[in-house]
Chains A and B, each alone.
Chain A
Amino acid sequence: MSGPGTAWYLALAAFLFGTGALGVLIRRNPLIVLLSLEIMLNGANLALIAFSRHVANGAGQIFALGVMAVAASEVCVGLGLVVALHRRRLALDVDTLSELRG
């Protein structure tokens, strides 16, 4: 493969995953937590696709497409939750929504 090798893609994927994890941990708005989750999933996708090209095997790309479908499902349910919270006039703050905490 011309251009940067697989290690470059993996480093970028790791940094994306770290950025997303930081966002999930520090932000309080559930919408931005969901956006940061998307970044984490995309970091994993980038690693899958880079490895797929590296070992010349298509399973990585299939897995990445599956991750995309799971991400779409997660956004569907997560945004449904946000809308339901908004309808009940609850604060959109993940720190105050701690009723289900064990």
Chain B
Amino acid sequence: MILAASAGNILVWIVWLAAGFACLASGIAVVSFSNPFYSALALIGNLGSLAVLYLLVSAEFVAAAQVLVYAGAVMVMFLFVIAYVGPRLEAPWAGGPPWQAVAAVLAAGSLLTEIIVAIGLKAGGSLSHDRSVPGSFGTPAWVGRLFLTDHLLAFEITSIVLLVAAVGGVILGGHVKRGGGEAPAQ
């Protein structure tokens, strides 16, 4: 029994390490590829490995939504637009004065340190013991019930946000009037 439990534990660790490494590596790849097409493909890998991590913390519905909505719909839209615009190569560190790159690394590094320090100060003591959850935690039925009972307002406002974004996308991507030269598409 104990042997089986520890074997399962080791398996979870192996899956976690593989997914976490893939997640970090593909994240760095997104930032450092010079071709935006490859960056988008690396982001698909990042989203897929994050979905594996979500499964490990029993968030099944969010993992499925991640793969369907993010890695599916959003990234296909990205790839379409990159193909439409044409991939322009751009060296990650090129352009601008060199102090800009140094300042960017310093800013991102200080942001990272700040997050780690804040989490460590606020939650460091209580992170070791977590609560047990029911078997239905994270299933689609459970998430659906939460959405339609406790978080109904958030659910409805999300639909309005999506509608407004769709209208904005149509207006921005609408046809530029011909003959008027630089007529703004308003």
Contacts and interface: CB of A to CB of B under 8 A. Distances in A.
A66 B176 contact: no
B61 A61 contact: yes
Given A12-B24, A70-B161, A77 B169 contact: yes
Specify the main secondary structure of chain B where it touches its partner.
Answer: helix
Interface of B: 5, 8-9, 12-13, 15-16, 20, 23-24, 27-28, 30-31, 36, 39-40, 43, 46-47, 50, 53-54, 56-59, 61-62, 65-66, 69-70, 73-74, 77-78, 81-82, 84-85, 88, 90, 92-93, 95-96, 100-101, 103-105, 107-109, 111-112, 115-116, 119, 123, 127-128, 130-133, 137-138, 142-143, 146-147, 150-151, 154, 158, 161-162, 164-166, 168-173, 176, 182, 185
Interface of A: 1-12, 14-23, 25-29, 31-32, 34-36, 38-39, 42, 45-46, 49-50, 52-56, 58-59, 61-62, 64-66, 68-77, 79-84, 86-88, 92-93, 95
17 contacts: A2-B5, A2-B12, A8-B16, A12-B23, A14-B116, A19-B31, A26-B92, A38-B74, A49-B54, A56-B130, A58-B138, A61-B146, A62-B150, A69-B158, A76-B169, A80-B168, A86-B85
